[in-house]
């Protein structure tokens, strides 16, 4: 399995984890999946594994490091766990009744802009997110939201 680690602030690739004793990737259809990795102690690897950094598994799943445990026993195991990136959408609920209308692409653009890019609530802001502006794509739709998770 290919496991890459990226910096949470710069999104630069910090390195790869090529030797591990255990990897578990739990993909869930209707909720947020998670991961767990156990690695033999290596100071260079431990330096990469910081809270909030991203771990990408086989270019398919992206996790956020939220738990790091370094065993000081004879085995010197590093254990890393966290949720998938989808967790960022978990607490982004449409708190008010909103009505969006226009082309499919313009409605999606309005929702992403108002909830993740330009929200007054800083907890909703997702760094580095961008959206392609294509106002004339898709059919005309009307969408109402009320207390629904963005997930």
Q: What is the pLDDT of residues 53-68, one digit of tens each?
A: 999 988 888 899 999 9
**pLDDT-derived band of residue 139, with 50, 70 and 90 as boundaries?**
confident
Residues 108-116: contacts with CB within 8 Å, 24+ apart?
Answer: 109/133, 109/135, 111/143, 111/145, 111/150, 115/150, 116/92, 116/150
Tens of pLDDT, residues 86-115:
776 665 555 666 777 888 778 778 777 777
Select from 67, 70, 75 the least CA-distant residue to 36.
67
Q: Is 61 exposed, middle or buried (0-12, 13-18, 19+ CB in 10 A)?
A: middle
Select from 114, 134, 110 the least CA-distant residue to 124.
114
Report if pTM > 0.85: no
């Amino acid at each position: 399995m290919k496991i890459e680690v990226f910096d949470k602030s710069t999104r630069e690739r910090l390195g790869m984890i090529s030797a591990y004793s255990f990897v578990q990737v739990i993909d869930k259809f209707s909720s947020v999946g998670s991961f767990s990795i156990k690695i033999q102690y290596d100071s260079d690897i431990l330096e990469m594994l910081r809270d909030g950094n991203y771990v990408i598994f086989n270019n398919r799943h992206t996790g956020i490091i939220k738990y790091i445990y370094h065993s000081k026993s004879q085995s010197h195991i590093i254990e890393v766990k966290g949720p998938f990136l989808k967790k960022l959408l978990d607490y982004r609920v449409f708190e008010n009744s909103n009505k969006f209308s226009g082309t499919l692409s313009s409605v999606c653009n309005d929702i992403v802009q108002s909830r993740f890019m330009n929200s007054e609530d800083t907890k909703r802001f997702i760094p580095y997110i961008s959206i392609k502006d294509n106002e004339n794509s898709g059919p005309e739709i009307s969408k109402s939201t009320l207390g629904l998770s963005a997930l």
